[in-house]
Structure 1
């Protein structure tokens, strides 16, 4: 028997559980508009952006105000998200596990790139690999879980050097970077920064491209990218790493591997509550 639609928008019949309650979905459009707006909105503007009449929007807003989902300024009559939405948002953020969420998305990224993938977080000694997904088609790489990546000769380290900011680990990162630059000067290396000017150039390029990148720097014959993932506060939560043979790994900034890495990292950052670009 076909499901029947009530005037209230509630669906009845055998498909009720699958179909859900349409009125809830319609009303959510108002909350979604407020969430994306740069500030409070007048009723007419809010209704227009939610694609409904002002009268219809007002009925939903009355209920949302009772629930604390929406608040109205008595002086300007403009609507804004209410305290309940803040509590819900904070509760959601407190339950988010960035590494777990990233691990669940790595297989799909692996299918897109065809490369070995890893996740890195800031550990006691620097950027540390905490998850590994090896591609059956990729050349074996002599890196494993728990390995601490150098700051300047690895894509992972360059990503953390550029995006760690002033958060946890920043002081330690500066010490590690200075130590590695001194070692690079002693060895006469030309493939990594050896002074402040070269370091600034590397950091600037990494930030502009949104990826850390190396080719034949840390390991001969190996190239890689590392994409930053940010949390709701804009802090670097982890790095998503891709590695492969320099002979086949596309290191172009606009290539398919780089593009897939950026898309995955940006979506994960957004799902963690980051509102940046």
Structure 2
């Protein structure tokens, strides 16, 4: 097996792995993904020897990784020719990633128009390794929320964006971050299962989340979900600004935000 940091051949080009002094990964996982990338880089099925050559592995090493990828559905082997190609799970991952890219592009365009119209700050967040992560941040007129930026992780319980993810993602996705927040002893954070369930139910019923002064002092935050064609949450669009509720409780900016989220969902054939 090639030593860490040595270039490997992928698709005829040497690629040097990126080193990190702060983070440690699992080399076997990285090598398995290198084998998968070799299949991605070719336009058709590959022989075992081609996979080994493109990854810098021996034939026996490449075979073991391919066997695992086949078992997991990310690769497939033709029983007649013995050649390897991408499996059905790879297609599913690719389609899911494509849907997210499309959702981000569509939501960014719509959010830019909204921010210009209502003169509030806007964010677009997706679910990342650490939780709700900002991938687009637009500074609007009026209140400037300077504590936010690309890569900011929203809390689940004390931000409107986080509450939308909490309400619409499977519990297994949010369990780790929820546990961390419940251990912080923040007085703004609900600590009982009943209160957390009430938050989820409220967001689902209203179609959005609305908070004031929780994540940023004296600022109203509102967030709405964007769904894909499978009915899964792919992104959350949000605004931050002054409380614009009229005596009847209507907030025109929040209504406009909901319209944006619903429009993008329809563009994605979402439900």
TM-score, normalised via structure 2 length: 0.59
Partner of 1:270: 266
Alignment of 1:86-235 (within 5 A): 97-164=102-169, 166=170, 170-183=171-184, 186-187=185-186, 189=187, 191-235=188-232
Q: Distance in 2 between matches of 1:161 and 1:233?
A: 18
- 2:145, 2:216 → 1: CA distance? 12
Provide closer, same or farther for how the CA distance between residues 160 and 243 of structure 1 changes in structure 2, counting only shifts above 3 A: same
- Of 235, 238, 241, the match for 1:241: 238
CA change 1:267–1:146 in 2 (3 A) is same
Residue among 244, 252, 255 paired with 2:251: 255
Q: Is the 8 A contact 1:227 1:265 kept in 2?
A: yes
Once structures 1 and 2 are overlaid, which stretch shifts more, 191-200 or 133-142? 133-142
**Residue correspondences, number:** 173
- TM norm structure 1: 0.58
Change (3 A) 1:94 1:118: closer
Q: How many Å separate the matches in 1 of 2:243 and 2:262?
A: 22
* RMSD of equivalent CA atoms: 2.1
Separation of aligned partners in 2, 1:233 and 1:215: 32
CA contact (8 A) 2:130 2:177 kept: no
2:156 aligns to what SS in structure 1?
A: coil
Query: Deviation per CA, 1:91-119, whole angstroms, max 9, x where unpaired?
Result: 9x957611011111122211332210010
Q: Which structure 1 residue ranges, 5 or more long, are not aligned?
A: 1-90
**Other structure's SS at 2:244 match:** coil
Instruction: Give the Cα separation in 2 of the matches to 1:104 and 1:140.
Output: 20
Pairwise CA distance, 1:251: 5.5
**Residues 102-141 of structure 1: CA distance to partner in whole angstroms, max 9, x if unpaired?**
1111222113322100100001110000001101332343
Tell me, in whole angstroms, the C-alpha distance in 1 between the residues paired with 2:145 and 2:254: 21
Gaps of 5+ in 2: 1-94
